[in-house]
Amino acid sequence: MVLVVAGLISGDFYYYLEKQIPGMPKITKKPAKEEITKLKEEAAPPLVPTPTPTPTPRPTPKQTTGEIDFDSMINIRPNQGNSSREVLVEGEIGYLRGSSEVQTKVEITPDDFTKPEDAKEFVEKTGVNQLAVVFGNIHGIVTEQEEKLDIEHFKKIVMAVPDVFYVLHGASGLKDEDVRAAIKAGVTNVHFNTELRVAYTEGIHRTLHDKPNETTPYKYLAPAVEEVKKVVAQKIKIFMGK
């Protein structure tokens, strides 16, 4: 049926069918251009314009005097209602410096750390149940300074807000003992990114250095994947307390 309809519209295919299928009505001429256009219009479904959704107006932030204005934030309350499913919603508070790459230095001061009182107010007013905080962590890896977590400061945050799951962003470059201490103090979600990127990149560089004429992607990408697996396996051991 689809082929016949297509033939009726184009004309040419119908000529082919009449030579192949006995009993096919003979067509003495191609349909006129006007007839083809009419057939196409009849076959096509009517175009229904898609209504343009009305954008939801964003709340206008209140003027503040340098303090965080939580009143202007959207109150998500992730687990309101009668749903039996637990929804995890993460928020972040504090100034997490750096970027997801290898850097020489990243200036960080205690002023960047998450303040316990701010964390408490943030959770109360937004309803998030996962909270990423800053207590010495940065994005990326640094080569000319030591990354060090202030575990005692993190414990103060936990005391102020004991009923959320804590997230550690920027764990790449930290010493294993720092990550273990953070987990012991209350962190339940650890983010590694840059270390995986570095392992992958170095794996590719090493393969191409050893085999400069290699041009088959799966042959020089596979060793890079294996390098990433090694880092992941080592991190899992840390999470397991080994």
Residues 144-166 pLDDT 10s? 999 999 999 999 999 999 999 99
CA dihedral 70, 71, 73, 76 (to 10 degrees): 100
Residue 170 backbone zone (phi > 0: left; psi -120 to 50: alpha; other: beta): left
Q: What is the mean pLDDT of the chain?
A: 79
| 9-13, 120-124, 147-151: least confident range | 9-13
Q: Measured at the alpha carbon of residue 213, what is the angle toward residues 207 and 216, in degrees to the nearest 5?
A: 70
With CA atoms as reference, report the closest residue to 191 among 212, 171, 175, 207. 171
Q: At what angle do helices 151-160 and 176-185 cross, to 10 degrees?
A: 20
Spell out the residues 6+ positions from residue 129 whose beta carbon is closer than 8 angstroms to its own: 78, 79, 88, 89, 164, 165
What is the spatial distance between Cα 54 and Cα 74, in angstroms, rounded to a whole number? 19
**Predicted local confidence at residue 191, as pLDDT:** 94
pLDDT (tens digit, 9 = 90+) per residue, 37-59?
666 666 666 666 666 666 655 55
| Full DSSP string of 69-111 | -GGGS----TT-SS--S----EEEES---EEEEEES-----GG
Q: What is the pLDDT of residues 61-115, one digit of tens each?
A: 444 444 555 554 544 555 555 455 678 899 999 999 999 899 999 999 999 999 9
pLDDT confidence of residue 242? 77
| Beta strands 187-190; 98-103: pairing state | unpaired
In this structure, how many other beta carbons lie within 10 angstroms of the beta carbon of residue 107? 9
Of the listed ranges 1-10, 199-208, 224-233, the least confidently predicted one is: 1-10
**% of the chain exceeding 90 in pLDDT:** 60
Rounded CA separation 242/236 (Å): 9
